[in-house]
Structure 1
Amino acid sequence: MKGFLCFFLLLVSCRYLSHAQAPASDSRYALIPYPTSLVAQEGSFTITGQTKLVLPKVSGMFEQEAAQLQEILQNGLGKPLGRAKEAKANSIQLQYDKAITAPEGYSLTITPQQVTLAAKEPAGMFRAIQTLRQLLPAAIEKKQASGRLTLPAVQIQDQPAYSWRGMHLDVSRHFFSTDFLKKYINLLALYKFNKLHLHLTDDQGWRIEIKKYPKLTSEGAWRTFNKHDSVCIEKSKDNPDFALEKKHLVQKEGKTLYGGFYTQAEMKEIIRYAAAKHIEIIPEVDMPGHMMAAIKAYPFLSCTGDAGWGKDFSTPLCPCNESTYTFAENVLSEIAALFPSQYIHIGADEVEKTTWAQAAVCKDLMQKEGLKDVHELQSYFVHRIEKFLQTKGKKLIGWDEMLEGGVNPSATVMYWRSWVPDAPLKAVRNGNQVIMTPVNTLYYDYQPDKNSLFNVYHFNIVPAGLNAGEAKQILGAQANLWTEYVPSEDRAEYLVMPRMTALAEATWAQSKDFMGYQKRLKEHYPRLALLDVHYRVPDLTGFAEEGVFVDQATLNVQKPLDNLTIRYTTDGSLPTGASQVLGKPLQITNSSTIKLAAFTPEGLKGDTYTVNYKKQNHAAPVQAKGLKSGLQSRYFVGYFPTAGKMNEATATGTYTVTTLQVPKQANAGQFGVQFRGYLEVPETGIYTFYLTCDDGGVLRIADRMVVDNDGLHSAIEKSGQVALAKGVQPLALDFVEGGGGYTLKLKYSKDGSEPRDIPDSWLKH
C-alpha cells in the first residue's frame, strides 16, 4: 500500500510540474517578471460588454485600482464594464484577502467562468492588474475597440523577491519633459518596479524649483552648449537619436541656451501620477559635490567663492561655513515638503576636496572637531545633513563613497563602484541597508551589446560573502541612466528597453529561467511598439565584424525576430529604409565592406553593423622551441586612452599568467597590460575571436589584426576572424583600463561553432 501511495503521489506531482513549468515557453503566459507560481489551466475567459466588474464593500480600498483596470479594458472594449455588487458568472472580481501577507503580493485566478484578483493591499492589487494587462492582447495598449478580449485560464500566486526594484533617471545632464516622465513611469508600472530615483541637480543643470533660491532655476537650469552637447551634436549626423531636442532650447541675449526645470506644481503632479501606480519617487539633490550649477548662481557656497574644476571633479560646497548648511537645509526643507518619499538622496560622491584642504576655515573646523583628514570632513557634512533630514522624518541615501570617512548605520548606501567589491560587505557590517546598482552591470547609459540582457538577468543581487542574516540588509537593485550623452527621449528609451525587463525579472522573480525569459520577451516587442517605445532592436547574429575567407564566404544573418527586415549597403553608406533587402544568404568572393541594419514593421532601425571581409591564406605556423605554459604580461601603470600609448611608456613589471586574465599585480586604478606569447592551434581552419573589453583592447594573431576593440568604453564585445594553419601562432593582446573597474574576456569559435573559452593548454610563451 505504501508503494502504491508513493507511485500515486509521484504521478500527481509530475502532473503538477508539467502544468507549472510548461508556461515558461507558452506564448499565452509571456509574463515579465515571471510569477512565483503559475499553473496553466484549460480554456479561457472572454470579456465582453456584458461582463461585470465586482468590487465588494470589503474591497473598497481598491477603488482607484478598479478605475485603472477599467481604463485598460475600455481600450479594447470601447466602453467601461458595468458594475455588480457580488461575483457571478462572467465577472471580474477585485477581492480583499487578508491571508496574503507579503507586501505587494497577490493572486490571480482565471477560469472560463470568472476572473478573481486578490490582494491585501492596494499595491498588490495594482501588480495583479499589471499581470492581467500582460495576459491581454497587446492591442489594448491603444484604443482599438474589438468588443471582445480573451484571457487564458491560469492560477497565479505571486510576490516580489526584493522590496527595492528601482530605475533611475538623470534629468540634470539632459532635461526630460513631464510627459516623458509619465511615459517612463508607465513602463515601470507595467514591469512591476516600485522606485523611481530622479537625479534632479548636478553641475550641468538644476532642475527643480526652490522658492527660497530662485536663481537656482532662473540661472542654474540653463547653459550654453557644453562638451557633452557638442559630442551629441556630432553623433547626431549619423544617428538622429543624439540630436538635442528643440523644445529644450531657448534664445536669450543672442545666445542659444539648453535647459529647463520642473516647477513644484509640475513635480507634485508627477508624484501624484507615480503614487497612483504605487511607485515611490526618490529625489536626489547631489551634495557636497556636483554643485556647480548652484555655486555659479550663489558663489558664496564654495570655499573660494568660485565655481570651477579641480583635478578630477567640480568645486564642491564648502562644509566649513555655516552659510552652506543654511542653504542646504533650506533647499532640503522644500524637497522634503514636496516629496512624500521616506528617502532623500544626497549623492555625496565624487567630491573634489582640494579646496577644503587649502581653506583656512576648513583647517580650523577640522582642528576644532578632531577630524584627521578631508574624508572625515565629508563625513562631518553627511552626518549633519542626515541629522537634519531626520528632523523632517526622512532617511538619507548616498553613494558608497560615504563609507570612506565613516557613515552612520541609519544611512542607506547605494553601491555603484564595482571596482570596490568589498563596499557592500563593509556597509552591511556597519549596519547599513544597501541598494545594489554597480556600474559594470546596471549603468544603462553604457552602450548595450548582445550580452547585456544576459549580464543584467544573471546579476547576483546579494553579494558573495554575506550570511543569511546579512543578506536581509540588501534591499534590492536599481539600474541607472546617466544622461551626459542622452539628449533625447528616443535615446533614453533605446538604452533602457529592453534591459529594464531583465532587471524587472531579476528583482521580482523567485527563480530564474533565462531561456524562458528570452522567449517571453519576444512577445513584448509588439506591446512596446504600440506604446511608442523606441526600444533597442535585438542583435543580429551569424557573422563577425571582421570576417575572412580563403576561397569564399557566406553572410547568413540570423534574425532574432521574424518580422524584422534586414537591409544592407556595399558602398560605405548607412542602411536606410530604402536600402536593398538582404532576403537570403549573401555569397562573398571578394574583399568587401557590408553595412547591415534591421528594421521593424513600425519603422524602428536597429544598430548598424559594419562587416569587413578580407581574403587571406591560412597563416603558416612559426617554429618555436622550448615553449612554456602561459603568456608573458607586461604591466604599465598610468592613463592610456588607447592601447598603442603603452608603447611610449616603461613597464612596471613583467609577469607570467597561466590563463588569459589581468595579472593580480595590476592593482592601479588606471593601467595597461601587453600579453605576448603563442597560441597552439589544434587544427587548420577559420577561427572567430570574441573580445570583450572595459575599457579597450586590440588582438593580433599571426601578426594579423583580428579584433580592434580599442579606446575607453564600457564592456562591449567585438569579434573578428583569422585563417590559421595548425601549429604555433604568435599572439599579442593589448588591454587598457582607464579607471572605474575592468572587464577582459576572450572566447573563440571555429567554422561557426558556439563561442567557448580558450583552453589554457593553448597558451604558450
Structure 2
Amino acid sequence: MRKYVVLMLLTVIFTSCSQQPNPSFKQEDISILPKPSSLKLNEGSFKVEPNTAIILQDESQKKGANYLAGLFNKAAGYNLELQNTIAEGAIVFETIEGLKEGAYQLNVNPTSINIKASEESGFFNAVQSIRQLLPTAIESKEKVAADWFVPSVTIEDEPRFEWRGMHMDFSRHFFNINEVKDFLDNMALYKLNTYHMHLTDDQGWRVEIKKYPLLTEKGAWRTPNNQDTICMDRAVENKLYTIDESNFKTIDGERKYGGFFTQEQIKDIVAYADDRCITVIPEIDMPGHFKSAIDNYPFLSCNGESGWDTVFTYPTCLGKETTYEFMKNILDEVVELFPAEYVHIGGDEVNIASWKVCPHCQKAIKDNNLKDEHELQSHFNRDIEQFLKSKGKKFMGWDEIVTGGLTKSANIMWWRNWAPNAPKIAAENGNKVVVTTTAAYYFDYLNEGTTLKGVYNYEPIPADFTAEEEANVLGIQANLWSERIPNYKRLQYQAFPRMLAVAENAWASKENKNFEVFNSNVEKQYDRLDALGVYYYVPAVEGLDKEIAFVEETSVSLSLAYELEGTEIYYTIDGAVPTKASLKYEAPFVVNDTIEIKARAYRGELYNDLKSTKVIHKNYIESVDVTAQEKGLKQWVVKGKFKKEKDIKTPTTPNFTKVEGIALGDLKDEKNFAVVYQGYFNAEKDGVYEFETRSDGGDLLFLGEDVIVDNSGWHGPKKSYGKVALKQGLHPITIKYRPSDKPRVIEVKYALQGEELTPINSLVTRF
C-alpha cells in the first residue's frame, strides 16, 4: 500500500505541467441521475486519450474498469489499458474501507481521475457517473470522432436503499434476450441494481425446466387471447401496440404466441447482469397464477381440471404431496440458475374457492390444525420457505402472503396500495419489505395517470412506520406488467423517463430531493436516451380528452402535458391518423362543423399515443320560468335495494333535507339506500356547460327529463361527464345515486366548457 501511495504522488508530479488547460464546464452542463449526495464542480476537465491507462488495485475494481474500457472501445476505438502500475494521466481505482455498499468517491481533475469505493458496486456506480459526465457520443456502438472531456468534479455519493429495482413480466407478452440485455444496460446507467424477472403466470411459462419439458414445449405457447386482441385492436391506429411477430410460430398447423428462455440463456442473462452489478431475482408464481403448468400437468389442480373461475384461475391443490414435490423440483432447477439470495414465489391473487370444496385441501387444513384456507396457503408458503432455506435462499412473495401469518424470515413486496396494514404487519414482525405500490410504481399504468412528478414525489416509507420498521424496508421497485405491453418499444415508452424518478427515489435521501432540479436534469438526459435508442414517453397532447360541443362555433386549443424541447403537435380533422405530414398545431383554431379531431406529438421520429375527440353540435335549452328562492338542493334518502339507477323514483313527499352541496357525508354507514338530489341549476350566461359526476356504485344526472351524465353501472369510484348548451337562467336538475355495498363518494361538478370544474353547491342551485 505504501508503494501505491508513492506512485500516486508521482502521478501528480509527472502530470502537473499540462501545456494547454482543458475546458471548464458550467453547472447547467452537468446532469447526473440519480442526484449525487454531494457534487462540487471545479475548474478544468480531464481528457481521455487513446493511451490513457486505467490503474487497478484488486479484483473488486474490475467490473467498473471493464465497463468503462468497453464504452471507449466501442465509441472511441480506444483500447484503454488496464494495469496495476502507475502511469501518467491515468484513471485510478482505489479501495478504501468504511463506505456503504454502492457508495463511492469520485475526484476528476485535469491530470487524473480518482475513484474510491469499498466494494465492486461502488466502483461500478462511479463509472456510471463518469459515463453521464462524458458526451452522449460515449453511448455510440460505433466509432465516432469526439473530444472525451470529463468535467472536473468532486463527488461523494451513497444510495438510500439497498434494493433499487425494475421488473419485467414475460408471461403476458415475451421479450427476447437482446432486449433484456439492453434493458439491463439502461438500468446500469442509472445505478439500479435489482432486476425482477416474472417468468411464469397463467398466460405462459417462460423458463426451461428440464424435469418437466411440457412447461415450455406446450406451456410457453398459447393461441392469441383477449390481451393480444386488445393490443391488436389498438395497433390499427397506434403502432406502439403492435405485437412482436418474432414471438409467433406455427405449432401443429395453429398460429401460437409465446417464447421462453433456455437455461443457458438464463445463465447468460444472469452473467450479463452481474457484470453490471445487477442482481437478477426470479419469480415462479405459486400456488395461483399456475394455469400454464396445470394445463399440461392437470394432476396439480384439485379436480384435475385447468381453467378460469370468476376472476382468477384454479390454483394448484395444496392437499396433495404431488403438488409440493412438483414445486420443489422446479425450484431445485431455478436456484441453480439464479445466484441471488431471494427467490420470489408470487403468492398473490389466489382463488381459494376450489380449496373450500376439495377433500384433499380440507383434510390438510384439519390434519395441520389450520384455521382456514388462508392459513393453508401460509402452511404451503412455510414449507416452500424451508425448502428454499435448505438451498441457501430467502423466500419472497407479494403482500397477500401476510394473510394467514408470516415466519420471521419471509419477505414481501408491497403492491396493494389499498392494503397499508400488510407492510406494517410485516415490518413490525421483522420481515423485509420492498415497496412497489400501484400508487406510484406500476409502470404499465399510463404516464398521464401515474405522472413523472407523481412518481418522484411519492415517499415510499409509510408515514406511520417507526425507525425500526423503516430499517426493514429493503427499497423500491417499479413493475412493468405486460398485458398491454406487446413489444419492447412499448415497454421503453412505459418505463422512460419514469424509471429515472425511481432511480433517484431509491438513491437520494428525502432531504436531497427537489422535483424542479430533477426535472431539469431529466431534460438533459433525453439526448443520451436518443443516443441509446430508447423509445421514451413523449408528453401527451391535451385538449381532446372529452367531446367538444358548439352551438355556432368553438375554439379548439391543444397543448402538451409538459414542455419538452423539440416536441411538436400534429393533427387531423378528418379522422385520419396524424403524421408529420399532417397539420402542424401552431395556435387555437375555430371549428363550426361536426368533425373528428385526432392529434399526437412527435419528437424527432418518436411519437406518443393518439388523442382524439368528436366535435358535436348542440342546440340551446331554454331556461324555465319558476320561482325558486331557496339556495341549495333538496335531498331524499330512499330506503331499499335498487338494481339500476333508473329504478330510483324521485320522491314527491315534503320530508326532504335541504343541502348546500352534493356529498355522502354521514351516509357512509348506511345500508340498502339510494339518494336523490333535486333543484334548479342556475346558468349564469348562455354557453356550453360541462357536468361531471364521480361516484361508487353508479349515478345519473338529469336536466329536465334528459340524461346528461350517465355514470351508471356497478363500479368503484369513477368519473363520467356530459355537455349541454344552456340559455341563461334556471334549469331543473336531478341526481340519482345508487351506492355500492360500501358507500364511498358522490360528487358533482360543473363548468363552462374550457374552464375549471367546480363543485355544484348553493351558489348555483335553487329550489
TM bucket (normalised to shorter chain) is 0.7 to 0.9
Q: Is the 8 A contact 1:548 1:613 kept in 2?
A: yes
Given residue 553 of structure 1, which amino acid in structure 2 is its aligned partner? Answer: S
Unaligned runs of 5+ in 2: 1-25, 651-655
Give the match's secondary structure for 1:328: helix
How far is the alpha carbon of 1:206 from its aligned partner?
1.0
Query: Pairwise CA RMSD of aligned residues?
Result: 4.3
Report the more deviating stretch, 656-665 or 459-468: 656-665
How far is the alpha carbon of 1:243 from its aligned partner?
2.6
How far is the alpha carbon of 1:452 from its aligned partner?
1.6
Give the match's secondary structure for 2:559: coil
Q: Is the 8 A contact 2:318 2:360 kept in 1?
A: no
Distance 1:85 1:157 in 2: 24
Distance 1:442 1:580 in 2: 36
Q: Go from structure 1 to structure 2 and tell me whether the alpha carbon gap of 1:617 and 1:223 turns closer, same or farther (over 3 Å shift).
A: closer
Q: Go from structure 1 to structure 2 and tell me whether the alpha carbon gap of 1:442 and 1:586 turns closer, same or farther (over 3 Å shift).
A: same
Q: Is the 8 A contact 1:681 1:724 kept in 2?
A: yes
How far is the alpha carbon of 1:242 from its aligned partner?
2.4
- Residue in structure 2 matched with residue 125 of structure 1 by the alignment: 123
Distance 1:111 1:545 in 2: 56
Of 548, 563, 566, the residue aligned with 1:563 is 566
Give the match's secondary structure for 1:599: strand
- Residue in structure 2 matched with residue 522 of structure 1 by the alignment: 523
What's the CA shift string for 1:53-111, capped at 9, x where partnerless?
A: 33243x44212211110112234422133456566764322222324x22101122223
How far is the alpha carbon of 1:279 from its aligned partner?
1.0
- Residue in structure 2 matched with residue 365 of structure 1 by the alignment: 364
Given residue 462 of structure 2, which amino acid in structure 1 is its aligned partner? Answer: P
Distance 1:633 1:136 in 2: 67
Given residue 273 of structure 1, which amino acid in structure 2 is its aligned partner? Answer: Y
- Residue in structure 2 matched with residue 14 of structure 1 by the alignment: none
- Residue in structure 2 matched with residue 513 of structure 1 by the alignment: 514
Q: Go from structure 1 to structure 2 and tell me whether the alpha carbon gap of 1:196 and 1:607 turns closer, same or farther (over 3 Å shift).
A: same
Structure 2 matches for 1:595-614, cutoff 5 A?
595-601=598-604, 603-613=605-615
Q: Is the 8 A contact 2:662 2:760 kept in 1?
A: no
How far is the alpha carbon of 1:664 from its aligned partner?
7.8
- Residue in structure 2 matched with residue 134 of structure 1 by the alignment: 132
Q: Go from structure 1 to structure 2 and tell me whether the alpha carbon gap of 1:542 and 1:69 turns closer, same or farther (over 3 Å shift).
A: same
Distance 1:448 1:693 in 2: 24
Distance 1:461 1:93 in 2: 37
Given residue 135 of structure 1, which amino acid in structure 2 is its aligned partner? Answer: L
Distance 1:179 1:471 in 2: 37
How far is the alpha carbon of 1:441 from its aligned partner?
2.6
Q: Is the 8 A contact 2:414 2:433 kept in 1?
A: yes
Structure 2 matches for 1:533-544, cutoff 5 A?
533-541=534-542
Distance 1:762 1:743 in 2: 21
Structure 2 matches for 1:733-752, cutoff 5 A?
none
Mapped pair 1:69 → 2:33: no
Q: Is the 8 A contact 2:664 2:744 kept in 1?
A: no
- Residue in structure 2 matched with residue 34 of structure 1 by the alignment: 35
TM-score where L is the length of structure 1:
0.83
How far is the alpha carbon of 1:316 from its aligned partner?
0.9
- Residue in structure 1 matched with residue 231 of structure 2 by the alignment: 232
How far is the alpha carbon of 1:756 from its aligned partner?
8.5
Q: Is the 8 A contact 2:648 2:736 kept in 1?
A: no
Q: Go from structure 1 to structure 2 and tell me whether the alpha carbon gap of 1:268 and 1:82 turns closer, same or farther (over 3 Å shift).
A: closer
Q: Go from structure 1 to structure 2 and tell me whether the alpha carbon gap of 1:216 and 1:95 turns closer, same or farther (over 3 Å shift).
A: same
Q: Go from structure 1 to structure 2 and tell me whether the alpha carbon gap of 1:702 and 1:587 turns closer, same or farther (over 3 Å shift).
A: farther
- Residue in structure 1 matched with residue 54 of structure 2 by the alignment: 54
- Residue in structure 1 matched with residue 492 of structure 2 by the alignment: 493
Q: Is the 8 A contact 1:342 1:393 kept in 2?
A: yes
Report the more deviating stretch, 529-538 or 199-208: 529-538
Give the match's secondary structure for 2:292: helix
Given residue 141 of structure 1, which amino acid in structure 2 is its aligned partner? Answer: E
Q: Is the 8 A contact 1:169 1:480 kept in 2?
A: yes
Report the more deviating stretch, 558-567 or 409-418: 558-567
Give the match's secondary structure for 1:442: coil
Q: Go from structure 1 to structure 2 and tell me whether the alpha carbon gap of 1:75 and 1:686 turns closer, same or farther (over 3 Å shift).
A: farther
Distance 1:441 1:694 in 2: 23
- Residue in structure 1 matched with residue 10 of structure 2 by the alignment: none
Distance 1:717 1:529 in 2: 37
How far is the alpha carbon of 1:232 from its aligned partner?
2.1
What's the CA shift string for 1:550-583, capped at 9, x where partnerless?
A: 7652535357223223221110111123323334
Give the match's secondary structure for 1:278: coil
Q: Is the 8 A contact 1:543 1:557 kept in 2?
A: no
Q: Is the 8 A contact 1:204 1:292 kept in 2?
A: yes
Report the more deviating stretch, 442-451 or 388-397: 442-451
Given residue 108 of structure 2, which amino acid in structure 1 is its aligned partner? Answer: I
- Residue in structure 2 matched with residue 405 of structure 1 by the alignment: 404
Q: Is the 8 A contact 2:632 2:679 kept in 1?
A: no
Q: Go from structure 1 to structure 2 and tell me whether the alpha carbon gap of 1:508 and 1:706 turns closer, same or farther (over 3 Å shift).
A: farther
Q: Is the 8 A contact 1:568 1:579 kept in 2?
A: yes
Q: Is the 8 A contact 2:632 2:761 kept in 1?
A: no
Give the match's secondary structure for 1:314: coil
- Residue in structure 1 matched with residue 212 of structure 2 by the alignment: 213
Mapped pair 1:627 → 2:631: yes
Distance 1:248 1:741 in 2: 45
Report the more deviating stretch, 447-456 or 725-734: 725-734
Distance 1:145 1:56 in 2: 27
- Residue in structure 1 matched with residue 112 of structure 2 by the alignment: 114
Distance 1:739 1:134 in 2: 53
Distance 1:621 1:568 in 2: 37
Given residue 610 of structure 2, which amino acid in structure 1 is its aligned partner? Answer: T
Structure 2 matches for 1:687-726, cutoff 5 A?
none
How far is the alpha carbon of 1:205 from its aligned partner?
1.0
Q: Is the 8 A contact 2:42 2:154 kept in 1?
A: yes
What's the CA shift string for 1:634-670, capped at 9, x where partnerless?
A: 99999x9xxxx6446899xx999988777686699xx
Given residue 572 of structure 1, which amino acid in structure 2 is its aligned partner? Answer: G
- Residue in structure 1 matched with residue 414 of structure 2 by the alignment: 415
Q: Is the 8 A contact 2:545 2:612 kept in 1?
A: no
Percentage identity across aligned positions?
A: 35
What's the CA shift string for 1:724-755, capped at 9, x where partnerless?
A: 888888778899999999999999998978x6
- Residue in structure 2 matched with residue 553 of structure 1 by the alignment: 555
- Residue in structure 1 matched with residue 581 of structure 2 by the alignment: 578
How far is the alpha carbon of 1:330 from its aligned partner?
0.9
Distance 2:378 2:536 in 1: 41
TM-score where L is the length of structure 2:
0.83
Q: How many residues align?
A: 729
Q: Is the 8 A contact 1:547 1:722 kept in 2?
A: no
Give the match's secondary structure for 2:284: strand
Distance 2:697 2:502 in 1: 24
Q: Is the 8 A contact 1:33 1:508 kept in 2?
A: yes
Given residue 446 of structure 1, which amino acid in structure 2 is its aligned partner? Answer: Y
How far is the alpha carbon of 1:538 from its aligned partner?
1.7
Distance 2:521 2:721 in 1: 28
- Residue in structure 2 matched with residue 479 of structure 1 by the alignment: 478
Distance 1:740 1:34 in 2: 44
Q: Go from structure 1 to structure 2 and tell me whether the alpha carbon gap of 1:523 and 1:372 turns closer, same or farther (over 3 Å shift).
A: same
Distance 1:127 1:678 in 2: 64
Q: Is the 8 A contact 1:662 1:673 kept in 2?
A: no
Q: Is the 8 A contact 1:633 1:675 kept in 2?
A: no
- Residue in structure 2 matched with residue 18 of structure 1 by the alignment: none
Distance 2:321 2:467 in 1: 44
Q: Is the 8 A contact 1:449 1:717 kept in 2?
A: no
- Residue in structure 2 matched with residue 19 of structure 1 by the alignment: none
What's the CA shift string for 1:110-166, capped at 9, x where partnerless?
A: 233332222111101111111221222222211242141223332222111111111
How far is the alpha carbon of 1:347 from its aligned partner?
0.8
Give the match's secondary structure for 1:405: coil
How far is the alpha carbon of 1:457 from its aligned partner?
1.2
Q: Which has more radius of gyration?
A: 2
Distance 2:92 2:743 in 1: 51
Structure 2 matches for 1:241-252, cutoff 5 A?
241-252=240-251
